[in-house]
Structure 1
Amino acid sequence: MINQNNSPNPTKEVAIADDKNLMGIAQYLKDAQTGHKRSIPPLEQFTPKHCGTMDLKVKANGEWWHEGQLIKRQALIDLFSSVLWKEQGKFYLKTPVEQIEIEVEDEPLWVNQVGRVEIDGKNYLQLTTTTQDIVIVDAEHAIFMRDYVAHDGSVELRPYVHVRFGLNALIQRAAFFHLIEMGQLLENEQGDTILSLQSGDFYLQLGT
């Protein structure tokens, strides 16, 4: 007769493994940090082993959830976002020793600030994410529009910018309105409204 009280609990074992993996990544980040300045590790140089999946989800509204619990500490989100990696359409947390798959509903980064910065006498668009990434808009870090399909099947045209390692950031609504104010709204031959933007010598047009 099997004693049900002593039988393994797969759900509990997975949760313990998730906690161990998350704490291991947090410890690596803590050890790798120098001073108070946020830095991105050279993830492209790491060749770790794949260590399965973790119950960590970045929702389409920018919230981070671990094992069904909302992560409220922004400092912790900032740390984990610095080791985000995308490979063959999947998202991971990546360190020198392990690469763990997580779930991302849309994109894991969000732009909430838009401004201009002068570099070598030229004005560039500068975007800042909620996790303190600074992106200078150019050909390699272009702004683009893409459809997002929600769980209810509705489709929304959203603006994004490429950040690094295949990762994009969603430009929040207030930040995008600021971009519109900084650019020019034009009309093409089909009568569609086009947003024209310039960053340095880089020009781009977005269908809105």
Structure 2
Amino acid sequence: MSLNKISAQISDSQQGDTKKMPPVELWDPPFCGDIDLEIKSDGHWFYNGTVFKRLSLVKLFASVLKKEDEKYFLVTPVEKIGITVEDAPFLITQWQWLDEQKSQMQVTTNLDDSFILDAEHPLEISDAGNLYITVRRNLQARVHRNVYYQWVELAHEDNNGNGAELVFLSADHRFSLGALDN
């Protein structure tokens, strides 16, 4: 399976609005094998050991990325190809408040996906202490270390009865950056 063939199938399936994500959750094509495509933990995409240099191609493939159980696939209406993801397929690299009241935080991934940090896109802490946000479907983005440190500066200490933690609000939801050591 070549990347040219996959990208052609993706382009064919994305007729119309290019901003709209393909409905990969509705597609259940046969598995066609694995391809040597890897998303590194730093957000870079590699094919046969070579980094992708065209962001537009990465965005195209990311639009048809699907996670089933703990495996990742590129999916078109006619085939499903396995790929490797080191950690999470996306990174949260930017954030901003959308209003003067600082009540809605918009976050942006390394592939320019932007959304409000809210109940639909929650912040979660892994067992290892890394922060992740659900981007779309069941695909997550790891919060980049620089963003984390910026959030620590704006967070406040809150004692929830089980100990103190650093928290902040967005879209009327409370998000924790983790427990504080006493």
Normalising by the residue count of structure 2, what TM-score does the alignment of the two structures yield?
0.85
Which structure features the higher share of helix residues? 1
The secondary structure found in structure 1 opposite 2:126 is: strand
Q: Aligned with 1:60: secondary structure?
A: coil
Q: Is the 8 A contact 1:122 1:200 kept in 2?
A: no
Query: Which residues in structure 2 correspond to 1:1-208 (within 5 Å)?
Result: 17=1, 19=2, 22-31=3-12, 32=14, 34=16, 38-118=19-99, 123-147=103-127, 157-186=129-158, 194-207=165-178
Kept in 2: contact 1:161–1:168 (CA 8 A): yes
For residues 179 and 173 of structure 1, the distance between their equivalents in structure 2, rounded to whole angstroms, comes to 10
Task: Give a deviation string over 1:122-162, Cα, whole Å, max 9, x none.
Answer: 821111001111121112211112145xxxxxxxx311111
CA distance in 1, matches of 2:115, 2:6: 25
Structure 2 residue identity aligned to 1:201: D
**TM-score (norm: length of structure 1):** 0.76
Q: 2:64, 2:40 → 1: CA distance?
A: 17
Stretches of structure 2 that go unaligned for 5 or more consecutive residues are: none
Give 1:186 shift.
4.2
| One-letter amino acid matched to 2:144 | Q
Is residue 124–residue 132 contact of structure 2 (8 Å, CA) maintained in 1?
yes
Structure 1 residue 84, shift from structure 2 partner: 0.8
Please give the alpha-carbon distance, in whole angstroms, between the structure 1 residues aligned to 2:119 and 2:9.
33
Higher RCO by CA contacts (8 Å cutoff, separation 6 or greater): 2
Equivalent-residue separation in structure 1 for 2:15 and 2:151 (angstroms): 33
Identity %: 36
Shift, 1:74, TM fit: 1.5
User: How far is the alpha carbon of 1:78 from its aligned partner?
Assistant: 1.3
Structure 1: gaps of 5 or more residues: 1-16, 149-156
Q: Deviations over 1:83-116 (max 9, x none)?
A: 1100011001111111111001100111111112
Q: Is the 8 A contact 1:114 1:178 kept in 2?
A: no
Q: Which amino acid aligns with 2:145?
A: R
Question: Contact 1:83/1:95 (CA < 8 Å) preserved in 2?
Answer: yes
Secondary structure of the 2:57 match is: helix
> 1:126 and 1:176 mapped to 2: Cα distance?
14
Structure 1 Cα separation of the partners of residues 44 and 61 of structure 2: 13
RMSD: 2.3
Give the number of equivalent residue pairs. Answer: 177
Question: Could you tell me which amino acid in structure 2 is paired with residue 56 of structure 1?
Answer: L
**Counterpart secondary structure, 2:56:** helix
SS in 2 for 1:123: coil
Distance 1:25 1:136 in 2: 31
AA paired with 2:50? Q
Q: 1:184 to 1:33 in 2, by over 3 A?
A: farther
